[in-house]
């Protein structure tokens, strides 16, 4: 399919950037994983005394099939599926053709389609986390850490309720997002998916009826663990997907952190605190030549909103199933890659946006120096130590809702009934120097983040 003819922007406009997703969530990837699970199950059956051992030739064909799934195999599978109208049964028939076993009845023995599907989909998710999601999260967080460290001591205006508030540093404000993101990165890196292998109603009934001497619960546990998954041993026909929901919500939480960053950076750019680098030949508007728009952060914001809507739906829908199961989850599950695709695209866009912004130090210092009323907080705090009066109310009367000048503050300090040492301390205050422990907080956050991201 040509990218220009894709219905979804993930397959069209952004198709070339979705390679990590196609590796994990394409129809080809899902079929490949289904075949892999069936083949590994065949091998695992060799450990129990239900069928005669595979011959050397049969084992050779099985090993060859494990490592050679490609376009011809996929095409044949789809041909079989078109005849049977059942995707998992098509895998069984395909393997009967491919393996030419003396007793092909061992293929898919005792299993239900959901045994294969839940494991195949989960392996797709696991593959994406390891090769797509974690590497991109790491890259994005490392970029945030690099900029936070670079900006650690740059005085930066802040706002609460949209109004001017006590200054910070540009690095410390960015370090907040870094700390939140690294916390979630650490959880995702340790995350373990679950899977089930229990037959039509989760009770191993067919397996137990055919081979009652086998410890099927232990067999299933060992098999699922061999796929580097945790075994969910008490299920209906379907794996309950609470574990998937946990993963979706973890991803959604990270998306919320990045969307928060996008929104703040958009505002910082609009206020002039941050400036964007221009590139030769780019256009910001079809009619206004001067425009340099924060489109990377806007693109990220929009894609995160789409992604989180889908992730919320998936985490609510998939853990619920009528009695043993219903089929409504099947078509929904096929959209996991769409939700993660919009997330992936958003993370890329934020990364691109960060690469093009820097602090406009001159603009930040100018705004801070024009806001001497911000010193009302440290002044009243210092006065609390040396007077029994109500310094908060004094400063409120002087500054709240009024335009305050440096001269007015100086006159206020001169009229205070305090020791000259206190006056000198108050006069020495400056808005651009009133940063508290922001640089130290930022540098510590960067240090801890780098330690975590390089493990």
Reference 379, options 410, 333, 342, 357; nearest CA is 410
Average pLDDT of the residues of the chain: 94
Q: For residue range 201-231, list pLDDT tens digits in order.
A: 999 999 999 999 999 999 999 999 999 999 9
Q: For residue range 96-151, list pLDDT tens digits in order.
A: 999 999 999 999 999 999 999 999 999 999 999 999 999 999 999 999 999 999 99
User: CA-to-CA distance for 44 and 278, rounded, in angstroms?
Assistant: 59
One domain for residues 319 and 420: no
Q: Quick check: is 241 in a domain? A: yes
Residue 275 pairs in a beta bridge with 358
What number is the average pLDDT over the span 277-299?
A: 70
Q: Quick check: is 62 in a domain? A: yes
- Structure tokens belonging to residue 155: 């005085």
Last residue of a domain, one of 60, 83, 108: 108
In this predicted structure, the answer to whether residue 20 has a pLDDT above a threshold of 90 is no
Last residue of a domain, one of 108, 139, 157: 108
Q: What was the pLDDT predicted at 15?
A: 86
User: CA-to-CA distance for 199 and 323, rounded, in angstroms?
Assistant: 15
User: CA-to-CA distance for 196 and 168, rounded, in angstroms?
Assistant: 51
Q: Is 430 helix (H, G, I), strand (E, B) or coil?
A: coil
One domain for residues 251 and 341: yes
Kindly report the CATH number assigned to the domain that includes residue 418.
1.10.40.30
Q: What was the pLDDT predicted at 278?
A: 61
User: CA-to-CA distance for 47 and 182, rounded, in angstroms?
Assistant: 42
One domain for residues 182 and 225: yes
Q: Which residue did the predictor score with more confidence, 5 or 255? A: 255
Domain encompassing residue 16: 1-47+51-108
Q: What was the pLDDT predicted at 388?
A: 86
Q: How many CA atoms lie within 13 A of 58 on its CB side?
A: 18
* pLDDT category of residue 290 using cuts at 50, 70 and 90: low
Kindly report the CATH number assigned to the domain that includes residue 87.
1.10.275.10
One domain for residues 451 and 319: yes
Q: What are the DSSP calls for 254-323, one per residue?
A: HHHHHHHHHHHHHHHHHHTSEEEPP-TT--S-SS-TT----HHHHHHHHHHHHHHHHHHHHHHHTT--ST
One domain for residues 104 and 153: no
Q: What was the pLDDT predicted at 389?
A: 87
One domain for residues 312 and 391: no
Q: Quick check: is 237 in a domain? A: yes
Residues whose CB is less than 8 angstroms from the CB of residue 235 and which lie 6 or more positions away in sequence, other chains included: 196, 198, 202
One domain for residues 335 and 186: yes
pTM for this structure?
A: 0.93
Q: What was the pLDDT predicted at 292?
A: 67
Q: What was the pLDDT predicted at 2?
A: 53
Q: What was the pLDDT predicted at 343?
A: 98
Reference 157, options 370, 354, 357; nearest CA is 370
Q: Quick check: is 343 in a domain? A: yes
Q: Report the chain's terminal Cα–Cα distance, integer Å.
A: 40
One domain for residues 238 and 305: yes
Q: What was the pLDDT predicted at 67?
A: 87
One domain for residues 319 and 381: no
Q: For residue range 310-340, list pLDDT tens digits in order.
A: 999 999 999 999 998 898 999 999 999 999 9
Q: Quick check: is 432 in a domain? A: no
What's the number of domains the chain is made of? 3
Q: Which residue did the predictor score with more confidence, 271 or 403? A: 271
Helix (H) or strand (E) run with residue 252 in it: helix 242-271
Q: Quick check: is 367 in a domain? A: no
Kindly report the CATH number assigned to the domain that includes residue 225.
1.20.200.10
One domain for residues 28 and 158: no
Residue 357 pairs in a beta bridge with 276
One domain for residues 129 and 251: yes
Q: What was the pLDDT predicted at 280?
A: 63
One domain for residues 125 and 240: yes
Q: What was the pLDDT predicted at 16?
A: 86
Percent of the chain with pLDDT over 70: 96
In this predicted structure, the answer to whether residue 361 has a pLDDT above a threshold of 90 is yes
Percent of the chain with pLDDT over 90: 85
Task: Supply the residues annotated as catalytic.
Answer: 161, 285
């Amino acid at each position: 399919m040509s990218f220009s003819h894709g219905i979804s922007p993930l397959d069209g406009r952004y198709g070339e950037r979705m390679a990590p997703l196609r590796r994990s969530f394409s129809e080809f990837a899902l079929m490949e994983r289904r075949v892999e699970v069936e083949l590994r199950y065949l091998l695992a059956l060799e450990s129990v005394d239900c069928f005669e051992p595979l011959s050397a030739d049969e084992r050779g064909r099985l090993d060859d099939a494990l490592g050679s799934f490609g376009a011809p195999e996929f095409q044949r599978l789809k041909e079989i599926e078109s005849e049977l109208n059942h995707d998992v049964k098509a895998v069984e028939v395909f393997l009967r053709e491919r393996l030419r076993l003396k007793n092909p009845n061992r293929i898919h023995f005792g299993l239900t389609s959901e045994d294969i599907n839940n494991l195949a989909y989960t392996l797709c998710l696991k593959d994406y986390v390891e090769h797509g999601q974690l590497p991109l999260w790491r890259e994005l967080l490392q970029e945030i850490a690099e900029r936070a460290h670079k900006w650690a001591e740059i005085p930066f205006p802040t706002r609460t309720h949209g109004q001017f508030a006590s200054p910070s540093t540009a690095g410390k404000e960015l370090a907040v997002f870094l700390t939140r993101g690294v916390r979630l990165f650490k959880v995702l890196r340790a995350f373990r998916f679950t899977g089930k292998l229990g037959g039509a109603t989760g009770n191993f009934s067919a397996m137990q009826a055919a081979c009652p001497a086998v410890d099927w619960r232990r067999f299933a546990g060992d098999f699922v663990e061999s796929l580097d998954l945790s075994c969910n041993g008490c299920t209906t026909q379907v794996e309950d997907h609470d574990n998937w929901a946990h993963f979706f919500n973890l991803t959604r939480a990270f998306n919320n952190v990045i969307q928060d960053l996008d929104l703040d950076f958009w505002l910082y750019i609009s206020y002039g605190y941050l400036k964007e680098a221009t590139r030769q030949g780019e256009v910001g508007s079809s009619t206004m030549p001067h425009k340099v728009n924060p489109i990377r952060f806007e693109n990220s914001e929009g894609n995160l909103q789409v992604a989180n809507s889908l992730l919320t739906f998936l985490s609510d829908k998939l853990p619920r199933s009528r009695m043993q199961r219903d089929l409504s989850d099947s078509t929904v599950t096929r959209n996991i890659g769409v939700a993660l695709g919009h997330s992936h695209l958003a993370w890329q866009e934020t990364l691109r946006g960060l690469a093009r912004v820097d602090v406009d130090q001159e603009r930040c210092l100018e705004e801070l120096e024009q806001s001497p009323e911000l010193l009302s907080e440290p002044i009243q705090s210092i006065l609390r130590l040396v007077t029994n009066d109500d310094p908060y109310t004094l400063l409120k009367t002087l500054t709240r809702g009024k335009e305050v000048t440096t001269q007015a503050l100086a006159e206020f300090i001169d009229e205070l009934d305090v020791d000259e040492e206190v006056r000198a301390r108050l006069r020495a205050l400056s808005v651009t120097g009133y940063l508290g422990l922001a640089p130290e907080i930022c540098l510590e956050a960067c240090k801890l983040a780098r330690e975590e991201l390089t493990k």
